[in-house]
Amino acid sequence: MGTQKEKLSILSEMIAFARVDYSLKESEYHFLLGVASNLGVDKEIFDALLKEKSPKIVLKSQAERIVQFHRLLLLMNIDQEQHEKEIHTLHNIGLNMGLPPSAIGQVLEVMHKYPDKVVPPDVLINIFKAHYN
């Protein structure tokens, strides 16, 4: 996975998304801390990102963008609540990443078919593959 700057950008975007409802729930914090750990970012640096954003870096590959979209989808559903503002924001983030609008819409629709609205990675990948062919 990319450079330290890319990792911090990923986390900053996720923190901002978690705060779209003007709060950061404990479940969201722990999820984000887990993502930070998986990316190799220690807790002190992660906690610093809560106070000051990292500069935005555009993910280069389509695969990285799809993975980030999936992380954001998981984050949105971690508290088992989906608000219209979150769904709208996630849709716009996907569009800004250059993901196909129809694939984004399909993912947001099929998430309701899965326990805790967690779309399995293979299902997500197949949706995006179908829209790129």
Domain ranges, ordered by start, for the chain: 4-132
Q: What is the pTM of this model?
A: 0.92
One digit per residue, the tens of pLDDT, for the chain of length 133 reads: 579 999 999 999 999 999 998 889 999 999 999 999 999 999 999 999 999 999 999 898 999 999 999 999 999 999 887 889 999 999 999 999 999 999 999 999 999 999 989 999 999 999 999 987 6
**Fold for the domain defined by 4-132:** TerB-like (1.10.3680)
Q: Which residue has the tokens 């900053």?
A: 12
pLDDT reported for residue 133:
66
Tell me how far apart the alpha carbons of residues 83 and 85 are, in angstroms, rounded to a whole number.
5
The region, left, alpha or beta by phi > 0 then psi within -120 to 50, assigned to residue 129 is alpha
pLDDT at residue 113, rounded to an integer = 94
**pLDDT for res 119:** 94
**Alpha-carbon span 127 to 31, nearest angstrom:** 25
Q: Which two tokens stand for residue 97?
A: 């990443």
Please check whether residue 69 is in contact with residue 97, taking contact to mean a CB–CB distance below 8 angstroms: yes
Q: What is the pLDDT of residue 126?
A: 95
Helices (H), 1-120: 4-18, 26-39, 43-51, 62-77, 84-96, 101-110
CA distance 120 to 118: 6
